[in-house]
């Protein structure tokens, strides 16, 4: 399988991303293959746990490979994006609900789709090079892959701050915010993976002190505002020009929708609820949001000068997050013991 190595290794099912030259970006075929492997290992008595890791030092997974979604959307085909996001979210839900331990070892960039792949594992390990972020507002998208639920469960207003600004977290901040569980120096990973594969015992994961978490000392009270206007006004009153500059670069529709998603996710019973709500936006994204323009500016032409034009009114935000009827993301693909 191009882009991912899937195999059995003694007591472990092994999933290794193998696109280091592309920062291990997750494409549609990779997501489908990972989901199929998890489904096969679910009831395999020889597989005691699953290990997810990635080749290269620069990235665990820097996001989804959305080039095909962009090209299809530009050509007027909005089905390709909808199919990719649906299958990716099914994979994310399967990881979150997997009945056996899933150990994710994450280094370098862990962003967007990488958070979906590693952030819902039962044992989430970061190394010293990890940089975790949900930067979707900068490309006209919203934090998805269950990211709205992770953001919603972060302490205080960390979720609003991280989702709206796309700020990067080092390992200490990511553990504080609930995006990871443990810090293990990357030099120790080969021996740890060997032990896990040999024994199938996640109890062997060592407990190292978490690195410093400067996020815990930041004044994020401005992000408690009822809407983007209140948040912006509070940041102006604080003289937080650095944060205002970031927010003004991002898509207004994405900012407003992200705020709604994070706050709605605080009431969700499971990640499936959050994924289904995120899918309402992403299913419409290529046709009704700033997504195509954001991808053009940041990833295609790389002029870093997006011309945002999508309607950011409360009415349009509600429309973007409204149920999709027959296209709503449901979980009938899970059967038997998978249903919870």
Catalytic, out of 27, 97, 144, 290: 144
Q: Which two tokens stand for residue 213?
A: 């978490």
Is 113 noted as a catalytic residue in this protein? Answer: yes
Is 278 noted as a catalytic residue in this protein? Answer: no
Q: How far is CA 264 from the centre of its chain?
A: 17
Is residue 110 within 8 A of residue 131, CB to CB? The reply is: yes
Q: Tell the residue number behind the tokens 């930067």, with chain if given.
A: 135
Q: Tabulate helix, strand, coil % of the chain (nearest 5).
A: 50, 10, 35
Question: For residue 108, is it left (φ>0), alpha (ψ between -120 and 50) or beta?
Answer: left
**CB within 8 Å of 66: residues ≥ 6 apart:** 81, 84, 295, 299
How many residues in the chain? 340
Catalytic, out of 88, 92, 136, 173: 136
Is residue 329 within 8 A of residue 279, CB to CB? The reply is: yes
Catalytic, out of 113, 166, 170, 172: 113
Q: How far is CA 1 from the centre of its chain?
A: 23
Is 64 noted as a catalytic residue in this protein? Answer: yes
**CB within 8 Å of 167: residues ≥ 6 apart:** 133, 161, 246
Residue 101 and residue 254: Cα distance in Å, rounded? 34
Dump the DSSP string for 152-175: HTSSTTHHHHHHHH---B-HHHHH
Catalytic, out of 13, 63, 64, 294: 64
Return phi, psi of residue 52, to 5°. -115, 125
Is 136 noted as a catalytic residue in this protein? Answer: yes
Is residue 65 within 8 A of residue 37, CB to CB? The reply is: no
- Residues with a catalytic annotation lie at 64, 113, 136, 144
């Amino acid at each position: 399988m191009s882009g991912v190595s899937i195999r059995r290794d003694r007591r472990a099912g092994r999933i290794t991303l193998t696109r280091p030259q592309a920062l291990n970006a997750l494409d549609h075929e990779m997501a489908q293959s990972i989901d199929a492997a998890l489904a096969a290992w679910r009831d395999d008595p020889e597989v005691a746990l699953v290990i997810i890791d990635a080749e290269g030092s620069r990235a665990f997974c820097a996001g989804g490979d959305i080039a095909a979604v962009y090209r299809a959307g530009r050509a007027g085909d909005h089905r390709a994006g909808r199919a990719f996001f649906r299958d990716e979210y099914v994979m994310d839900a399967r990881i979150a609900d997997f009945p056996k331990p899933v150990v994710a070892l994450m280094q370098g960039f862990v962003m967007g789709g990488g958070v979906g792949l590693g952030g819902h594992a039962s044992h989430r390990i970061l190394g010293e090079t990890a940089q975790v972020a949900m930067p979707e507002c900068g490309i006209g998208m919203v934090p998805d892959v269950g990211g709205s639920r992770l953001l919603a469960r972060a302490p205080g207003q960390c979720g609003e701050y991280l989702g709206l600004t796309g700020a990067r977290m080092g390992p200490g901040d990511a553990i504080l915010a609930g995006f990871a569980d443990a810090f293990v120096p990357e030099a120790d990973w080969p021996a740890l993976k060997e032990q896990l594969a040999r024994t199938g015992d996640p109890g062997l994961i060592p407990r190292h002190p978490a690195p410093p978490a400067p996020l815990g000392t930041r004044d994020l009270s401005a992000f408690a505002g009822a809407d983007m206007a209140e948040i912006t006004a509070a940041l102006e009153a604080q003289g937080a020009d650095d944060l205002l500059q970031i927010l003004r670069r991002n898509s207004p529709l994405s900012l407003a929708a992200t705020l709604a998603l994070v706050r709605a996710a605080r009431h969700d019973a499971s990640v499936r609820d959050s994924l289904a709500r995120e899918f309402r936006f992403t299913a419409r994204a290529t046709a009704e949001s700033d997504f195509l323009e954001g991808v053009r500016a940041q990833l295609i032409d790389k002029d870093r000068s997006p011309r945002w034009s999508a309607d950011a009114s409360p009415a349009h935000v509600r429309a973007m997050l409204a149920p999709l009827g027959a296209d709503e993301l449901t979980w009938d693909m899970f059967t038997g013991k998978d249903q919870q």
